[in-house]
Structure 1
Amino acid sequence: MNSIDYIFMNFPELETERFILRQVKAKDFEDLYELYSDPLAIKYQQAEAMSDIDQAKKSVIAFLKGYLNKKFIRWCIADKLTDKVVGLISLHSFDILNFRAEIGYMLNSNYLNKNIMTECAIKVLDFAFNIIKLTKVEASINPDNERSIHLVVKLGFKEELLIKGISFNFKTALFEDRVIFALTKNQYSM
């Protein structure tokens, strides 16, 4: 069994100074609804904002199934004091043969500018490189998403390429460009 298979046996809970990165719980649906109906949080997501609470309840099930089916690890970023979910961070698109994955994240706009995503991404990258033993983590970002680009550059990612028309947006029914950023284990220094 390789280390990537191992991480799908028991959900890997991580801890930072202010947050617990944990698996979604049924009770999180209200926080997820708040997140996925937040226009600023979903601005660069490829789906419409949630319009009713039942969609959030279904997302809880989808998160659990995604992990069970070894598709992704999607951590809820839960405040240590209140257990409120303020955002999500994930490793997904695993390339088992080459020990690579992509990182993704989103944050409730009420919690912007508090270094939350930096704190959590450092913990996830440490897990990716030192526990799973990935060799590379990539981020696929809309070129207009300056906040996300700033984050990955701050974390040490390097821009690798721009891919034109690679990502279909269900909101606009258009194909969008993506800038691919990457961080290798050798470059990682947090």
Structure 2
Amino acid sequence: MEVVMPLLARFKLNNVENVFNDYVELETEDYKLRKLNKNDARDIVDIYENKDIMTYDRALFIKSESKARKFIEELNDMYEERERIDWAIEDKKLEKVIGLIALFNISILDSRAEVGYVLNKAYTNKGIMQYILKWIVDFSFNVLGIHKLEANINAQNAPSIKICEKIGFEKEGYRKKQVFDRKTGEYNDNYTYGLINDNWEIILERIE
């Protein structure tokens, strides 16, 4: 009697672990995505001195270079602990860090990650973050082999919602009174957005 072995589904191997083994910098003619260093402290202050960011970003208000250097060290430590990947967004012509973008809450098992980003207020409404996010989506799907990217966005953050929707992220969920607004002392709603890699492959194999 022939014994039919059950099927096991597994995903195509992703390359996320390789990024933690060797930090990857990305570069175009105008921008470079690179690792933060302590010399970026002044630029970090320029980004986080905007009090509006307190509503949307979970980082504490940063108003001194000493706090900025500690913040940079913490992000780099989390990379070394293989918890998250943060890139500084450098304007190559200005030689200035104008924002940050990160992959975090990474699940190797499910091949999934959350993306987050912040931009210096002086550089908003110029299409920069939409361009950078699209770049990271392409890198995540086609180089890292990630199956799904997620973004959790404060419902009050209309610009960020607009950016995600333009790129193709779809609203998947709604969390009522999820995040605390340190400016108003109230709780805001949160939206969950997701984008799935259409080229994802599932492999079926026999269990021996």
What's the TM-score once normalised by structure 2's chain length?
Answer: 0.83
Structure with bigger RCO (C-alpha 8 Å, 6+ apart): 2
Is 1:158 aligned with 2:158?
Answer: no
Quick check: 1:46–1:169 contact (8 Å CA) kept in 2? no
Shift of 1:119: 1.4
Within the candidate set 57, 80, 103, 2:115 is matched to 103
Q: Which residue of 2 aligns with 1:131?
A: 143
Q: Is the 8 A contact 1:15 1:123 kept in 2?
A: no
- Superposition deviation, residue 46 in structure 1: 3.0
Distance 2:57 2:187 in 1: 13
Cα distance in 1 between the residues matched to 2:81 and 2:177:
29
1:107-126 matches, within 5 Å, as 107-126=119-138
User: Please, which of 58, 61, 69 is the counterpart of residue 46 of structure 1?
Assistant: 58
- Partners of 1:46 and 1:181 lie apart in 2 by 18
Q: State the distance in 2 between where 1:173 and 1:92 align.
A: 27
RMSD (Å), alpha carbons: 2.1
In 1, the alpha carbon distance for the partners of 2:34 and 2:194 equals 25
2:133 partner letter: A
Describe the superposition over 1:81-129 as per-residue Cα deviations: whole angstroms up to 9, x where unpaired: 2320000111111011110101100000011121110111111111110
Question: Which digits, 9 at most, give the CA deviation of each residue in 1:23-55, with x for residues without a partner?
Answer: 001210000011111224444123442232211
Query: In structure 2, how many angstroms separate the alpha carbons of the residues matched to 1:20 and 1:79?
Result: 7
Count matched residues.
188
Query: Sequence identity of aligned pairs in percent?
Result: 34
Q: Taking structure 1 as the reference length, what is the TM-score of the superposition?
A: 0.90
Question: Which one of 158, 161, 164 corresponds to residue 149 of structure 1?
Answer: 161
Q: Which runs of 5+ in 1 are unaligned?
A: none
Tell me whether 1:77 sits opposite 2:66 in the alignment: no
Tell me the distance in 2 between the aligned counterparts of 1:107 and 1:2: 29
What are the equivalent positions in structure 2 for 1:11-22 lying under 5 Å apart? 11-22=23-34
Secondary structure of the corresponding residue to residue 8 of structure 1: helix
Q: Within 2, Cα distance between the matches of 1:53 and 1:47?
A: 15
Which residue identity does 1:26 align to in structure 2? K
**Counterpart residue number, 2:38:** 26
- Which of the two has higher C-alpha Rg? 2
